[in-house]
Every structure is written in C-alpha cells, then in structure tokens.
Structure 1
Amino acid sequence: MSNALFISVHDFRSLRKASVHFIAAEMAKRGVTRFFSIGLSRLSQHRGDTRSSLRDRANRVEVVAGGVECYLWKTAWHPFAMRRQMLAPLESALFSAYRRMIPRVPRQWIREAEIVFVESGMAAVFVADIRQMNPKARIVYLASDDLDVVGCAATIKRDFIRNFDMIDTVRLPSRYLLPGMPHGATSILVPHGIDRSIAEPRYPSPYNGRRGCVSVGSMLFDTAFFRVASGAFPNIDFHIIGAGKAAAGLQAPNIIIHPEMAFADTLPYLQHAAFGVAPYLDVNTPIYLIDTSLKLRQFGLFGIPAVCPNFALGDTPGRFGYVPGDSESITSAIQRALDNRQEITVDVMPWSGVVDRILSPREFADVKL
C-alpha cells in the first residue's frame, strides 16, 4: 500500500481524460491516492477552463469512485505568463505569493505522501515546496508536454531547471521529450498505456445508419480540415466532440458538433466510426505527439483508421497522413482510410504496466533511454 499525491492543472473528476487520470486511477488500486488540482480562478474560467463545471465543488475534499480524494483549488486569481521582460519581477512575485497560499488540506497531503506525482506545466513550480515540506517523499515528474511548447511562464521554466535535481524520477512518454530536460540522468522512457477493456463491450451505434467519423478534443484543433472534408464527402457525417470554441465557426449539413462529454460516452462513437480524425494544426507542433496522442492510440484500439497530419504518423500502421491546409492531400488521406482493408491493432501495455515501470524502473530494461 502507498500514499500517493498528484498535482496537476487537470482535475481527476473532469470529463476529459489525460494520461494523468489513468495513472492516478491505477495508483488508487494500490493505496491512498489524492489529487490536488491547481490554477482555477476567475481568469482561467474566462479563458475557458475545462474545470469550470466543477467550480462549485472547489476548495473542499471530495472522494470519488475508486476512492480518489480530490481537491480543486479555486482562487480569485492565479499567476500567469507575462511575456514582457520588464514584467518578469512581477511574474516571479505572483508565483511566489501563489505558492505561499497553498491551502491547509493539500499542505497536509504533501506532508503525508510517500510519492508525489508532479505533472508538467504549472505544477512544476511546486517542486521545491514539496521537497521542503516532505524531505522523504519520492517526487516523480510526469513530462506530459515540453514546457516551451505549451507556453509556460518563464518563472515556471526557471524554477523547473533550478529545482530539477530535487526530482527523483522523470517519466517521459516519448524520447522526443528528453531535449526539454536539463539532463537525462533520472529520466525513464515509459510510453502511454491503454485500457483494453473499454473496447470489449458492444455499444449501440450513435450514427443513425449513416457513415460517420469522429474527432475528440480541442488540442490544436484545425477547423480548415473539416471545411474541406465535409464538402468532399457529403455522405459521411463528421462528429466533433468537445472542441469547444475552436469549432464554433463550422457549419455544414454533415458536421455535427457535440459539447464535451464523459469519456465513456465517447466510446460508441469510436467503436462505430468509419475512421477517426486527429485534426492537429501545423504550428510548430511537437514531434512527440507521434507517441503521446491518446486519441490516436484509442482509434487503433478500436481498430479504426486514423486520419492525421503527416507529422503525427510515425511508423504506426493504420494512420493516414495529410498536409494541413492542402485540400487534395486531405481528400486523399480520407479516401485511403475508407479503402483500408488491413486489420488495425495496437501493441500497447496496460496502464498497470506503466505504473509498474514508474514505481520500479530498475526492474524493467525497456525504460532505459
């Protein structure tokens, strides 16, 4: 049994699921697991924070299915990136003030934890505080993204480098994330896992007898793809789930826009789709998406072709690439996906295997970079 704490800008109760949710759920099977969600404020809500629906459940402990204890920290303000060098001292001061404001319950959780998972992003600024409050805790850094790529504040990046050697284990889901680390001495390579059980039930089709494709999420969402695709394939319905404001301008008889929905509710759309789409924008998009895109893995799990930009292809079978903004290549990729007759499978470990490797990396030769 263990006592684990996760610190993240995600909330364990959110409808949208990221890798940190699956790791936390697996840890909950092994012992006490707590989830401290940071960075929710009036400012973040104004910017479309996906946790806004949980705001009335903030600043108190809530135990959810699986026994995970959740605490969403909501404040009137939170620090953010100030892009001008002249404002750097103010940015640093605001982050320092925010760190001193950690509520009593999460402070106690930090002191009691045997292992603290710090997810890349804003949570990285708390590494020194964790080490000070609990010198014996094992700190694991979950490198979900490169701090430069996601536009983190200079203060977060500076403190991450300064306190990097306080981190015991750095878990990289892609070797392409290694250049963003100060060094690789404590880094291990553990790709994302997958829960194969989600594909076992037979779900009812949500497509009303028509061929449909599905896109889930809002990350780097490219509306231009759907303007081309919906016109080129009028007999296919394009279901867009949880893209939010990014999809607001899309209008066509065969484009169906859905609000964000629970992860489990998206599964019928995946199972019965003619193909899935990962419509990433080409804006210096990081190469590590080849390895870290959960939606692409889920398409493979359900055995459906995936249409995605060429930069997300990698060497994974069942992916059909196009050049963003190029109508001809978009049309070609969709047609090739529709024409595919080869069986699509994924060779991915379960999330239990991911957690085993994070907890005991010396027992697994495959984690070495």
Structure 2
Amino acid sequence: MTPKTTDAAPRAVLFTQQFVGLGTRKTGMVFWAEALARRGYDTYVVTTQLSWLSKLGSNARMKQVDRSVFNRWRDCGERLHGYVWLPPFHPASVGQPMLQQISEPVFGFYPRLLPASVCDKVAGADLVVIESCAAVLLFNRLKRIAPREARFVYCASDRLETVGMHPMLRAALDRTARHYDLVRVPAESMAADFPSAARVAFIPHGIEKSVFYDPGESPFEVPGPHAVVAGDMMFDSESFGFMLDSFPDVTFHAFGMRLAQFADRPNLRNHGEVPFADLAKRLQHADVGIAAYIDRPEVHYLAQSSLKLIQYQYCRLPTVAPHFAIAGRPNVIGYTPGDRSSVIGAFRGALELDRSALDNASIADWDTVIGRMLAGAGIGQRPVAA
C-alpha cells in the first residue's frame, strides 16, 4: 500500500451504499462526495451493500448498473472517483433470527475481502467516511490501514434496524461508535442511539441549490394539477391510494420506484429513476409534494432527516405528510395515516396553499454541511479547489 505524499491534495474515502457517477438517483452521500471534491479533496467513493449474493434474488440495485463497473476504479468527474465493490458475500439481512445468527460468523470475514486497490486509497486518506450500511463492519480494518492522523466520520443516514440491515451491524456500531472522530446525525432524535462517549453532532441535510436556480419551462406534458412523490422509503401505500382515488383530476408522478399495485390507475405516471436535475425541475413546477411515510416510532426521525421533505420545502412546494413529519415546516399539511377523510382534507389543503409566502431561508447547501462536518471532525476548513 502506498501512502500519500505530503504535498498531495487532501484525500477522502467514502464508504456508502449509493452509486456515484452512474446516472442513478442522488442521495446524501453522493452530494457529500461532490462537495468534498469541490473543496479540493481527491474523493474516492466505494459502493458497498452488494455481492454475489445480490444476484440470487431480484436485487433492484444490481439492475441499476452494468456489470462492467464492478471492482474497478472509475473517474466520475474532477477529483471524483467511484468503485462498485462486488465481493463474494456481504452482511445481508437473511430474515429469520436463527438464520441471522448462523450467518454472522461467515459475514464476520467481510472486512478481509476488501480489495487491495481500495486499501491503497485508504492508506493515504485524510478523511474516511462510513455510512449506515454494510460498511459499518469495515471500521476496524480501515482504522488499521489508514494513517494514524486520518479522521473517521460515521454518517448515520438512517437507523440500521429501520432500513433492514443485518443485526450484527448494529452490534458492531455499538462497539465502535466511540472511536469515530465524529458521529454525524441528520435528526436530533438519533443522537440518543449512540453511547455517551461517542462524539455526536446534529448536522442537518442540505440541498444542491444550483440545480434549482433556473426552473425553466414546465416539464409536464399535460395540464395540472400535478403531485410528485420522490422515493418509497417506509411508504404508506394505503394513504397514497386514498389520494389517487379521491383526486382523479390530479396527475401523480412517482420517481425512483415502481408502484405495481397502482398500475391500473389512469392518473399515475411511474417515471422510475431519473437524473436529479430532471427531478428538480418537476419539483419546482409541481403543485403538491407527497411524503407518505408510515407512522411508526422508529421512523419518526425522518421528520428531520428526510431529504425529500427538505427539497420540497426549498421549492416552496405544498406538501402532505403524516402529522409527525410536519416538524415546523410551513409547507407541510399533516394527516392521520389510514384515515381517508384526514388524507383527503390534507391533500385538498395543499392544493389551496399559497406557496408564494412559504419560507426556505433556513435550508443550507451541501458545501455548508461539509464545512460543519469537517469542523466537527477536527479537520477545519479546506480551501475550495480553483
């Protein structure tokens, strides 16, 4: 492994379950990577949470990328590089508790599968970021490989148990959390998930404001009203069905998912994955945003951490969501999930809301978020690359 020379640009290595530079949907860690690259870091993004096991089922993420991208570094832009890691296995959730327990010793070998080309980048890193995914198991191995002065940040994009990760990941995180230089949470309620010795900081998500500067002409092909739903995480299909059936004159646009159970609805358009710039234009020209989350205590952190709620607010888009997700946002009208009259009333209220008076000044951009993260990790500010 080759350490970085002292006169080289600072280096960041990010371990996430997201793809970079492949035209797939953009989430928080992709924006982090791009912001670090703009700041002057040579940024390397390793996509985890895939393996040969993923080929056994109908893994949607496997279908998003061409096999030619696996296990090699790709240039994805200035100072930005991507690597989709496909080892023989990864710590995938296998369902039943007994199977989870049986699989744990095997999955414990996952860190030993790290490719030499990835280890080489970590050996010269100034910053290593691990997201809430299978990469949690890699901490000890990465810590041994990285320079002693390298800073380690855990980005708790979601609760591991909420998004269905293998239980051994939570146990590993409990053991290692206090050894990170920073544990970043996007919702204040998530701070209690970590031991008191962990250095936890609440740093809200940002948005890529430049994409929203010029809304341009409406991308919608038919007259409105138009409602958009961006993503299906913890999705409440029942309440969404109430909206579809009760507002036949509204065209509903679903992004990042396929809602097969509603395929017969004439007012639903399934767009699948689209470039973020295309989604941004539709958010700006839509009439209503939908955040149809299920209402369970373990997902209430989404009231602060939901990226789509933040994007809706920045676009001043009237939005419907469960009451718990309002979180002081002036653009969100709450409803009671499963209560048809409550859902209908909220949606009608969103259609009538005057968006011109809605405030979005409190929302930061990703460069600000990264600045806060670096300061919290003890790195300080880095000059933006020319």
Same fold (TM over 0.5): yes
Q: CA deviation at 1:22?
A: 0.9
Kindly indicate whether residue 141 of structure 2 is the aligned counterpart of residue 126 of structure 1. Answer: no
Q: Deviations for 1:83-129, whole angstroms, at most 9, x for unmatched residues?
A: 55555553232222221111111111111111100001211111111
- Structure-1 separation of matches of 2:200 and 2:51: 33
Confirm or deny that 1:117 pairs with 2:129: yes
Partner residue of 1:31? 41
Matched with 1:314 is: 327
The alpha-carbon deviation at position 47 of structure 1 amounts to 4.1
Match of 2:118 among 90, 106, 112: 106
Partners of 2:85 and 2:303 lie apart in 1 by 33
Match of 2:292 in 1: 279
Contact 1:221/1:281, CA 8 A, preserved across alignment: yes
What residue is the counterpart of 2:15 in the other structure?
Answer: 7
Q: 2:247 aligns with which of 216, 220, 233?
A: 233
Aligned length: 362
Quick check: 1:220–1:281 contact (8 Å CA) kept in 2? yes
CA separation of 1:227 and 1:140: change in aligned 2, threshold 3 A: same
Summarize the alignment of residues 101-180 of structure 1 with structure 2, pairs less than 5 Å apart.
101-134=113-146, 135-180=148-193
Letter in 2 for 1:37: T
Q: Residue 53 of structure 1 aligns with which residue?
A: 64
Q: Match for 1:269 among 278, 282, 302?
A: 282
Q: Alpha-carbon deviations, 1:275-298, whole Å to 9, x = none? A: 111111234452211111111111
Residue type of the alignment partner of 1:24 = A
Deviations 1:155-185 (A, max 9, x none): 2122212222321111111111111112254
Report the AA paired with residue 35 of structure 1.
Answer: V
Unaligned runs of 5+ in 1: 364-369
Q: Determine the C-alpha separation between the residues in 2 that align with 1:216 and 1:44.
A: 25
Provide the C-alpha distance between the structure 2 equivalents of 1:167 and 1:235, rounded to a whole number of angstroms. 52
Letter in 2 for 1:52: K
Partners of 1:165 and 1:103 lie apart in 2 by 27
Change (3 A) 1:82 1:28: same
Say if 1:284 and 1:243 are closer, same or farther in 2 by CA, change over 3 A: farther
Alignment of 1:192-211 (within 5 A): 192-207=205-220, 208-211=222-225
- Asked whether the equivalents of residues 181 and 377 of structure 2 are also in contact (C-alpha less than 8 Å), the reply is no
Cα distance in 2 between the residues matched to 1:249 and 1:305: 23
**How far did residue 218 of structure 1 move?**
1.9
Deviation at 1:43, TM superposition (A): 3.3
Q: Report how far residue 249 of structure 1 moved.
A: 3.7
Q: Distance in 2 between matches of 1:183 and 1:11?
A: 33
**Structure 1, 348-357 or 50-59: larger mean CA deviation:** 50-59
* Partner residue in 2 for 1:358: 373
Structure 1 residue 150: Cα displacement: 2.2
Q: Secondary structure at the match of 1:71?
A: strand
Distance 1:191 1:220, change over 3 A: same
Q: Tell me whether 11-20 or 87-96 shows the greater mean CA deviation.
A: 87-96
Tell me which residue corresponds to 1:93: 105
2:25 matched to which residue of 1?
16
Aligned to 1:80: 92
**Cα distance in structure 2, aligned partners of 1:304 and 1:252:** 24
CA gap 1:248/1:87 in 2 versus in 1, 3 angstroms: closer
What residue identity is the alignment partner of 1:316? Answer: R
Give the counterpart of 2:238 among 207, 216, 224: 224
For residue 260 of structure 1, report the CA deviation from its aligned partner: 1.4
Partner secondary structure for residue 141 of structure 1? strand
SS of equivalent to 2:320: strand
- RMSD in angstroms over aligned alpha carbons? 2.0
Q: 1:299 to 1:89 in 2, by over 3 A?
A: closer
Pair 54,106 (structure 1): closer, same or farther in 2 beyond 3 Å:
same
**AA at the equivalent of 1:355:** I
Contact 1:91 1:155 in 2 (8 A): no
Percent of aligned pairs with the same residue? 29
Aligned to 1:243: 257
Deviation, 1:149, is 2.0
Q: Amino acid of the residue matched to residue 30 of structure 2?
A: H
Q: Summarize the Cα distance change of 1:250–1:179 in structure 2 as closer, same or farther, 3 Å threshold.
A: farther
Compute the displacement of 1:3 (Å): 0.4
Q: Which runs of 5+ in 2 are unaligned?
A: 1-8, 379-386
Partner Cα distance (1:165, 1:261) in 2: 38
Are the equivalent residues in 2 in contact too, given 1:205–1:268 (CA < 8 A)? yes
State the shift of 1:136 in Å: 3.0
